[in-house]
Structure 1
Amino acid sequence: MTPLDKPLRRELAVGDQRYTLLIDPQGLKITLRGHRQGVALAWSDLINGDAQLAAALNASTHEGGSS
């Protein structure tokens, strides 16, 4: 198998929105194309079953963030 030793970026479309998916040794991050902030998830959270909690926390910190 090939180790994940450097970031891997891919673009994906969900509906009519385009996102950038970054997969690196620390975890993954999904951002709206052209933006810097997004939803991040550490591999340890995913493996430990804390993914839902981490995603909910990330979403709550970004809600209402733009005025």
Structure 2
Amino acid sequence: MTPLNKLLRRELAIDDRHYTLSIDPAGLKLVEKGHRKGVTLAWKDLLNGDAALAAALKASLS
């Protein structure tokens, strides 16, 4: 298996919107094209289940 030791970027479309997914050793980040802010998730948070908690908190604040 190839180790993840540098940044990897991929573009994807969701509901006719284009996003950039950046994956690196620290975690992943999903950003709408043309924007700077997006969703960042550390691998540690994903494994601990903190990702669901963070998503629920963010949704409750919106």
TM-score, with length taken from structure 1: 0.80
| 3-state SS, counterpart of residue 44 of structure 2 | helix
Query: Which residue does 2:17 correspond to in 1?
Result: 17
TM, length-normalised to structure 2: 0.86
Tell me the equivalent position of 1:3.
3
CA RMSD of aligned residues (A): 1.7
Structure 2 gap ranges (5+): none
Q: Which runs of 4+ in 1 moved over 2 A?
A: 54-61
* Alignment CA distance shift 1:23-1:60 (3 Å): farther
> SS state of the match for residue 35, structure 2?
coil
Equivalent pairs: percent with the same residue? Answer: 68
Q: List runs of 5+ in structure 1 lacking aligned partners.
A: none
